Amino acid sequence: MVMPTALTIFRFSHAYDVGAGLEYDIDAVVHALAARRPIRTVYLHAASNDEPAESSEQLIGLGSLVHYRAPQGLGREISPKSALLPDRRQGRGLLSRTIRRIVASGLFGDRLYRFIAAFYRSAAHPSEIPSAGSLAERLFDQYRPDLVVMHSVGGDDARQILRLAARRGIPSLVVLHFANERFSHLSVRIQVAYATAVAGVSSIGVPRYLKSRFHDLGTGISEEAYSATFPESDAVVSELPTIVSPGRIVPEKGQLDLIHAAAILRSGGLRFRISLPGRCDNPSYASKLREAIDSAGLSDSVVMPGLLTPPELRGVYSRSAILAVPTYHEEGCPRVILEAMALALPTVVYNTGGAAAAVRDGVTGYVVPTGDVEVLAARLGHLLRDADLRSRFGSAGRSYVRSHYSLNALADRHEALYSKILGGTLASRP
């Protein structure tokens, strides 16, 4: 069987239109594939407000994109992410850890988890889209997708869509954009039992039960977009070396650790600036962060410019000296790392989830034990003091991104997997 050049792909996620790594990951895949062949993408995702569901369609490349935005269940108090799972909310107790170990071991197969699905429901989460099941049924009837791709899993909305696809005989692909450890959570494991194929954005931490069927799709960025010269803006303009740490303003992104590390560096006499661009999803945390900045005597050295457009953020990268990603979040392969490396920035990252997937420790940057603020400060200090080291790391990082994370390579990986799922090989591109 040869997979046709004209495809209809249904995609689902808890992402909004813009604002975080998940949004940009999905956008990159959709546009990279549409640049090659006439693919129609029907994309059901979260609305940025509580308005009724709405749709829009646009031409992209050789294909088209149908956006269907639907409101989430409990508002926007927290940022979009795959639904948190009941066992995670119960904490790190013995029962929770035992369940995850059993799931990860592969001791039981898909048949058992499909049986459990008849009785198990994950607890409601604010990021879920309550109407997703009925909307998907309507969109399936209207567009008749060849393939269903799930970019957010774990919630009841994703369960409904995967079971609907299974009943209708539509092949499905689960793509986890966060740390692969989430595949060991019970609600995700149940949904994997309904998927035709399973993938992630890094190969770090894949559970044993998935080893034989897991596909590392990685991510990709536009080389052209990250090789230009950008005009000055008010976001970051300084003669001092700037440490940039993009990310949503939420506790799990670790901005407080960066401020504590900066206080250590400042006490040692180093002068620098810090830029913290990103959407504020947690106002109380933002207030706490500003208090820590003031207490450390860094109020004249730290800027928080808010959510920037991609060109604005690239401009910030181009005028910065170091990227810092002290994240506690279950990252997949953070896009900000690739973006910064493409513009020859050395990187310092916590070893959380897949955050270290793109960093070659001691070659393109440093990987730091998660939560070790003193080591974080030491690694940043090495780079701040040594411009030649920054240049070597930056050059190596840029070469690495070009060879491993181009949009063409990303599209190749997706096309190969889609072809495998649909039982054939892709026809030659027009």
Using the 8-state DSSP alphabet, how is residue 56 labeled? E
Phi and psi for 338 in degrees, rounded to 5?
-65, -40
Q: Angle, to 10 degrees, between the axis of helix 387-404 and the axis of helix 335-342?
A: 110
Check residue 55 and give its pLDDT: 79
The rounded mean pLDDT for the chain is: 85
Confidence of residue 364 (pLDDT cuts 50, 70, 90): very high
């991510």: which residue's tokens?
A: 219
The helix or strand, by DSSP H or E, that contains position 339, with its residue range, turns out to be: helix 335-342
What CATH architecture applies to the domain 2-220+406-426? Answer: 3-Layer(aba) Sandwich (3.40)
Phi/psi for 313 (5° steps) reads: -65, -40
Q: 122 near 154, Cβ under 8 Å?
A: yes
Q: 418 with 32: CB under 8 angstroms?
A: no
CATH 3.40.50.2000, the chain: domain bounds: 2-220+406-426, 224-404
Evaluate if residue 426 carries a pLDDT over 50.
Answer: no
Q: What is the CA radius of gyration of the chain?
A: 22
Q: How many residues does the chain have?
A: 430
Per cent of the chain over pLDDT 70 is 83
pLDDT at 124: 63
| 2 has a pLDDT exceeding 90 | no
Least confident of 19-28, 139-148, 183-192: 19-28
Centroid of chain to Cα 202: 11
Q: Residue 111: what pLDDT?
A: 79
Give the CATH superfamily of 224-404.
Glycogen Phosphorylase B; (3.40.50.2000)
Task: Choose among 328, 402, 329: nearest CA to 364.
Answer: 402
At 133, list the tokens: 């099941």
Rounded mean pLDDT, 75-93: 39
Q: What whole-number distance in Å separates Cα of residue 134 and Cα of residue 189?
A: 23
What pLDDT is stored for residue 22 in this prediction?
81
Residue 425's pLDDT is 44
At 314 the pLDDT is 87
- 381 pLDDT exceeds 80? yes
Q: What is the tens place of the pLDDT at every residue in 302-342?
A: 999 999 988 898 889 989 999 999 999 877 788 889 889 99
User: What pLDDT sits at residue 226?
Assistant: 64
Q: Which one-letter DSSP state was computed for residue 280?
A: B
Q: Is pLDDT of 284 > 90?
A: yes
pLDDT top residue among 74 and 325 = 325
User: Positive or negative CA dihedral for 250, 25, 372, 346?
Assistant: negative
pLDDT by residue (tens digit) across 28-54? 899 999 999 999 999 999 887 666 667
Q: In this structure, how many other beta carbons lie within 10 angstroms of the beta carbon of residue 378?
A: 16
Of the candidates 264, 153, 260, 253, the residue with the CA atom closest to the CA atom of residue 198: 153
For residues 55-64, give the mean pLDDT. 90
Query: For residue 195, is pLDDT > 90?
Result: yes
